[in-house]
Amino acid sequence: MDATKKPLRISPELGVYAEKHGVFQMLQRMLQCLLVDRPQDPIQYMIDHFKKENDEVPRVFLLGPPVSGKLSIAKLLCDQINTNLLTLDNMLAGGKSESADEIQKLKAKAQDIPNTLWAKLILERLSKTDCIKRGWVLVGFPKTREQAMAIQELGIAPEHVVILDAPDTVLIERNLGKRIDPVTKEIYHTIFNWPTSTKIQNRLEKPPGITEEETVKRLLEYRQVSHGVLNSYSKKYHIINADQPSVDVLSQVLSHVQSRHRSVAPYTPRIILHGPPGSGRSLQAAMIAEKYRIVNVSCGQLLREAVAAETRLGETIKPYVESRQPVPDVMVMKCMAQRLSKLDCSTWGWVMHGFPQDLVQAEMLKDAGFLANRVFFMEVPDDAVIERLSMRMVDPTTGKRSLKARTTRLKDSFYPTVIRLFNGSLLQ
């Protein structure tokens, strides 16, 4: 950036670097943490935030009705992504804090535990180094909107909220077959997860609350309050059907957890259309440039403009153009670099066609710092290409090309397909 000239010109390499390294997302995350934590020394806080390098670690809530398999799937998930499994029970068992002690005292007296106290316990656990470095999967909390609001007030926000659900009849049937190991506290099932060891089988016990009446009561309580949790994370939750093999459930959960939310970062389209002669590159580039208000960069047109302007580069290119010989790659690249470096291309983006035509040119474009974020290969059968080129007509006055008696039909058949592709990928 040259601060001595107005308007300020930002080099195209800066946009490429920012997109490649996620600079905008990094700053967005840092600003969110800054607003939530409100540190006394913001500068030092931001420095410490960068040193943590934990923006990409998983932060997952795994929720669902009773007997939906939350804990089993969470264990498998944590093994896959190498993160921490958190439940209210293991946080109480392993926590040595005022919050944990207070909760244990309230439990001993059979008193209700405030949501704020649960939230404080979770915050203390998430503040430890292992959760900061490796992330976490919190199972079974929050259960109500009040609990969700309590943890949100402390700045606890997941990246993904996964909800396992299944029909009530399936859940009731599952609960009737549940068994628990009194020694290890592992949960087994008479149908889905029966231990192979005879010793473990003999000591399994029926846990309390697995009768049909008690299960129905728990499911009814869950259904009555679950909508509040969904409203609290309306833009983040994803419901997965738990009435299928655990391998399939894990696959879907893992796929969702590893996905990224759509970025709101400023996006500059840099598109290359590649295809054989007669594939419609120039026509599609013109329509895309008009629809999305980006710059249409035609390699052939740039070379002709340079010759017509009688610039130093144009005078060098002129003999090749007049004799219809291929222009050397170095000269073509210099002409393209001059156009792509202009302010309109850096600001609005561009759609390029006619260049690069081979691997050498593609490497030159990459080395010059002009990286495309969308490349489309337009495939057309050879017979169709020959037919199009043989019917091509050129206006000697304007230089525009068209296909005799087929221009309108080709435009109508091509345009919806390509624009549909760009609607799905260009602006995401």
Considering only CA atoms, which of 75, 60, 72, 62 is closest in space to residue 174?
Answer: 72
Which of the residue ranges 71-80, 164-173, 183-192 would you say has the lowest mean pLDDT?
183-192
Within 8 A by CB and 6+ apart from 238, the residues are 160, 161, 162, 163, 256
Question: What are the tens digits of pLDDT across the range 42-80?
Answer: 888 888 877 776 667 899 999 999 889 898 899 999 999
Domains of the chain, earliest start first: 57-257 (3.40.50.300), 270-425 (3.40.50.300)
User: d(Cα 400, Cα 365) in Å, to the nearest integer?
Assistant: 28
Q: What is the DSSP letter of 392?
A: E
pTM for this model (two decimals)? 0.64
Task: Provide the pLDDT confidence category of residue 29 given band limits of 50, 70 and 90.
Answer: confident
Q: What pLDDT digit, counting tens, does each position of 140-150 carry?
A: 999 999 999 99
8 A C-beta contact, residue 54 and residue 159: no
Contact 151, 122 (CB under 8 A): yes
Query: What pLDDT was estimated at residue 7?
Result: 57
% helix / strand / coil in the chain, to the nearest 5? 55, 15, 35
Question: Could you give the CA distance from residue 95 to residue 91 in angstroms, rounded to a whole number?
Answer: 5
Q: Closest Cα partner for 188 from 61, 65, 67? A: 67
